[in-house]
């Protein structure tokens, strides 16, 4: 277990939790002066928990929990990929480990599919729902077809030079304006154990759609959108806002990765919503 402090206000604790036959790497930002419900965060496609560290630091007075899904970062691998519903149930076992009954849930990009499943299948454990740079599942509406096709290629997780070249056009916002930001982001990425773990995550996304049951989501829901998102069309957010009864939007002047590149602003919107 490792620990990092921040001005004496919180601890960022990283530990390995045994869930069944799989080891799950969990990061918890345990605020000493907790405000509101703990926040469980599902990360984006292929991303390890370290990419959330700027957001977790900015959420200084909220108890935040996230974890690497099997096959990513520090978590163990599985022979068969998990569906979004199975990953939601895995997350429930993670918070059980910390004796937490109810959480607010945040899903980022690919992770929004897990967050939506958690809100539906484990509604009694979900207080509020946040969807950031997300979609209701298949069919995903891309900003353009090229960005959607690029998601099928895990090269950006194995070739740093390729990601340096493609981060701006793919993510938009501050990533398209700051090479230094791209370098910082590169330093947070863990090398994948095998491309098959990435394809397993894609398989989970391709099997998922929530369009038929979004109207059953009962939790207050915040839909967060980057105005300069080059990956997803804003129509995805509009669909969710139309279908989820208690939903509201918030727009940030950044791209698809605003949770990383505008962590402070993102954290402020999240705290206002869940506190």
Nearest Cα residue to 265 out of 247, 251, 244, 275: 251
Res 146: pLDDT: 82
pLDDT of residue 235: 95
Straight-line distance from the first to the last Cα atom of the chain, in angstroms, rounded to the nearest whole number: 29
CB atoms within 10 A of CB 29: 27
DSSP output for 169-238 = HHHBGGGGT-HHHHHHHHHHPPPPS-HHHHHHHHHHHHT-B-TTTGGG--S-EEEEEETTBSSB-THHHH
HSE, CB side, 13 Å, CA atoms: give it for residue 188: 16
Residues 174, 181: contact at Cβ < 8 Å? yes
Radius of gyration of the chain measured on its C-alpha atoms: 17
- Sheet arrangement for strand 126-132: 2-5, 10-19, 22-31, 64-67, 39-42, 103-108, 126-132, 221-226, 247-252
Task: Write down the pLDDT at residue 203.
Answer: 87
What does pTM read for this prediction?
Answer: 0.92
**Domains of the chain listed by start with CATH number:** 2-274 (3.40.50.1820)
Q: How far is CA 89 from CA 67, 164, 207, 240, 261, in A?
A: 13, 35, 17, 23, 30
Active site residues: 109
- Which pLDDT score is estimated for 21? 85
Question: For residues 12 and 63, is the Cβ–Cβ distance under 8 A?
Answer: no
- pLDDT given at position 202: 87
For 136-173, write each residue's pLDDT tens digit: 988 888 888 887 788 888 888 888 899 999 999 999 99
Which residue's entry shows tokens 């206002």? 272
Per-residue pLDDT at 34: 61
Sites in the chain below the pLDDT cut of 50: 1-8
- pLDDT of 129 reads 98
């Amino acid at each position: 277990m490792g620990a990092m402090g921040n001005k004496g206000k919180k601890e960022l604790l990283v530990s390995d939790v045994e869930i069944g036959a799989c080891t799950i790497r969990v990061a918890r930002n345990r605020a000493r002066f907790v405000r509101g419900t703990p926040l469980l965060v599902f990360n984006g496609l292929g991303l390890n928990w370290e990419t959330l560290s700027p957001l977790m630091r900015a959420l200084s007075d909220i108890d935040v929990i996230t974890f690497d899904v099997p096959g990513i970062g520090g978590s163990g691998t599985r022979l068969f990929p998990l569906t979004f519903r199975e990953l939601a149930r895995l997350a429930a076992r993670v918070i059980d480990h910390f004796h937490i009954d109810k959480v607010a849930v945040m899903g980022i990009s690919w992770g929004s599919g897990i967050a939506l499943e958690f809100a539906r299948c484990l509604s009694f454990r979900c207080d509020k729902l946040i969807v950031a740079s997300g979609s209701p599942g298949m069919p995903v509406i891309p900003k353009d077809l090229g960005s959607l096709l690029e998601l099928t290629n895990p090269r950006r997780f194995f070739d740093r030079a390729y990601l340096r070249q493609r981060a701006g056009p793919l993510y938009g916002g501050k990533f398209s304006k700051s090479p230094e930001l791209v370098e910082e982001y590169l330093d947070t990425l863990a090398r994948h154990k095998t491309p098959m773990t990435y394809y397993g995550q894609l398989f989970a996304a391709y099997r998922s759609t929530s369009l038929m049951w979004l109207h059953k989501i009962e939790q207050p829901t915040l839909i967060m959108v980057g105005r300069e998102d080059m990956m997803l069309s804003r129509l995805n957010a509009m669909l969710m806002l139309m279908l989820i009864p208690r939903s509201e939007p918030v727009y940030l002047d950044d791209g698809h990765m605003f949770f990383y590149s505008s962590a402070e602003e993102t954290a402020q919107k999240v705290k206002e919503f869940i506190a």
